[in-house]
Amino acid sequence: MASQPLAPSETSSSNLPPAPGWQGIASDWSSDREAFKQVPWGKAMMWIFLLSDTFIFSCFLTGYMSVRMTITTAWPNPSEVFALTIGGKEIPLILIAIMTFVLISSSGTMAMAVNYAYRRDRAKTTALMLATAALGVAFVGMQAFEWSKLIAEGVRPWGNPMGAAQFGASFFMITGFHGLHVSIGALYLSIVALKVSRGDYERSGNYQNVEIAGLYWHFVDLVWVFIFAFFYLW
Nearest to 128 by CA among 102, 108, 115, 109: 109
> Where along the chain do its domains lie?
34-232
Nearest to 170 by CA among 53, 54, 65: 65
Q: How many other C-beta atoms are found inside a 10 Å radius of the C-beta of residue 170?
A: 21
Residue type, 38: Q
Q: Are 163 and 73 in contact (CB under 8 A)?
A: yes
Q: What pTM, to 2 d.p., does this model score?
A: 0.83
Sign (positive or negative) of CA dihedral 192, 40, 25, 52: positive
CATH architecture of 34-232: Up-down Bundle (1.20)
Strand, coil or helix: 64 = helix
- In the predicted model, residues of the chain with pLDDT beneath 50 are 1-14
Q: Which residues pair with 84 in a beta bridge?
A: 91
Q: How many other C-beta atoms are found inside a 10 Å radius of the C-beta of residue 218?
A: 16
Q: Are 115 and 145 in contact (CB under 8 A)?
A: no
The pLDDT assigned to 182 comes to: 98
The pLDDT assigned to 149 comes to: 94
Residues 61-102: tens digit of each pLDDT: 999 999 999 988 888 998 989 999 888 888 999 999 999 999
